[in-house]
Homo-oligomer: A and B are copies of this chain.
Amino acid sequence: MQSAKEFVEQLRPAGGRRSGKRDVIVQIFLRQEGHLAADELVELIRAEDARISRATIYRTLQWMVDAGIAQKVDFGEGRFRYEHSYRHPRHFHLICKTCNQSFEFLSSDIEALIEEIAEARRFSPRQSVLQIYGTCEDCQAGRQPERIAAPTDALFARDALRIAIATERSGLEFYTRAAALTKDARGKKVFQRLAEEEQEHLGTLERRYRQLVKADPELEAHPTFLFFKGAANGIFAAGTEELVKGVDDRQALLIGIRCERGSHKFFKRYGERFEESEGKQIFLEFADEEREHLDLLIREYRSLVERQAAGPKRR
């Protein structure tokens, strides 16, 4: 796993000089979690150590943004806040206007929609900001809001596993149906084999999930961090729908190919977004698996087409 130091080292821009003060600022900044206003960082640094001027801190923040170490965010407070990018994927925010706390979440569905919309408008998106302003659970109840810890690796792994499991289930259903509906003996066998594989993987994933929860029984009580619906399992669900409306063997294989391709792409892309972590691992492993299925289906489709082309002559 990459350390914070390596992370900074790697991003340090060429031509820049090493400076003790800047290092201090960066290190203190990276130690924090959440969204720091410049002034809060000034306080932290005053407390910690040196006589570092406000200007240097502002300049270092700008430097970190340029280097990709930090991100400047605007919660509409009339000042900017900064969050670091180290082990911290792009995300969205729920912002409580009462206690001023902010809560992060991911949503592959919303990301997919944003991409579609940008595409439709021929807009090339660089960065998206989604902030939901309102009142958090604690403030609604009039309770003293407790500081929520930032989402951990384990939490991310939990949600990654949930997505993978849901997708696997949906894939299993797809292949089971496909096997039942396919007439071609060889095609049927392929679908059966894939269904069996999905079943097996499903078992593996569920075991892994239970293990994770066992290691931290509190884990399941945490609210969802990574939201998903359509983007992952919707791919197979749509395929199943088409299947069930009636298709021939060739179409069934094509639908399977489309599903696996979509699924592979989703898991690969999503996995690549994250820093080293169990969740990333899960996504990438899953992507590989889908890739194998995809290859198998493509081979099978080619074979079927060949046999069909040869077939009529014999008839």
**A interface list, Cβ under 8 A from B:** 72-74, 76, 78, 80, 94, 96-97, 103, 105, 107, 109-110, 113-114, 116-118, 120-137, 140, 223-224, 227, 229-230, 237, 240-241, 244-245
Known: A78-B80, A80-B78, A113-B107. A126 touches B118 (CB 8 A): no
Known: A227-B116, A237-B241, A241-B237. A121 touches B133 (CB 8 A): no
Q: Contact check, A137 vs B123: say whether CB atoms are below 8 A apart.
A: yes
A107 interface neighbour in B76, B117, B122, Cβ under 8 Å: B117
A105 to B121, CA, bound (A): 10
Q: How many copies does the complex hold?
A: 2
Known: A237-B241, A245-B244. A105 touches B117 (CB 8 A): yes
Instruction: Collect the chain B residues with CB atoms within 8 Å of residue A223's CB.
Output: 120-122
A127 to B133, CA, bound (A): 5
Considering the complex of A and B, which 5 residue pairs feature the smallest CB-CB distances, nearest first? Answer: A74-B76, A125-B134, A122-B137, A241-B241, A126-B134
A245 to B241, CA, bound (A): 8
A22 to B125, CA, bound (A): 39
Distance from A104 Cβ to chain B, minimum over Cβ atoms (Å): 10
Instruction: Collect the chain B residues with CB atoms within 8 Å of residue A117's CB.
Output: 94, 105, 107, 132, 224, 227
Known: A74-B76, A241-B241. A135 touches B123 (CB 8 A): yes
Known: A117-B105, A241-B244. A129 touches B127 (CB 8 A): no
Instruction: Collect the chain B residues with CB atoms within 8 Å of residue A118's CB.
Output: 94, 132, 134
Interface of A is mostly: mixed
Q: Contact check, B94 vs A121: say whether CB atoms are below 8 A apart.
A: yes
Instruction: Collect the chain B residues with CB atoms within 8 Å of residue A127's CB.
Output: 132-134
| Between-chain CB contacts (< 8 Å), 14 pairs | A94-B121, A113-B227, A117-B227, A121-B137, A122-B137, A123-B132, A124-B140, A126-B133, A126-B134, A127-B133, A128-B132, A129-B133, A230-B230, A241-B241
Known: A134-B126, A241-B240, A244-B241. A121 touches B78 (CB 8 A): no
Instruction: Collect the chain B residues with CB atoms within 8 Å of residue A76's CB.
Output: 72-74, 80, 129
Instruction: Collect the chain B residues with CB atoms within 8 Å of residue A123's CB.
Output: 94, 96, 103, 132, 134-137
Q: Contact check, A133 vs B140: say whether CB atoms are below 8 A apart.
A: no
Distance from A3 Cβ to chain B, minimum over Cβ atoms (Å): 31
Q: Contact check, B124 vs A134: say whether CB atoms are below 8 A apart.
A: yes
A291 to B174, CA, bound (A): 34
Q: Contact check, A129 vs B130: say whether CB atoms are below 8 A apart.
A: yes
Instruction: Collect the chain B residues with CB atoms within 8 Å of residue A78's CB.
Output: 80
A132 to B76, CA, bound (A): 15
Q: Considering the complex, give the chain B residue whose CB is closest to the CB of A128.
A: B132
A129 interface neighbour in B116, B122, B131, B224, Cβ under 8 Å: B131
Q: Considering the complex, give the chain B residue whose CB is closest to the CB of A243.
A: B244
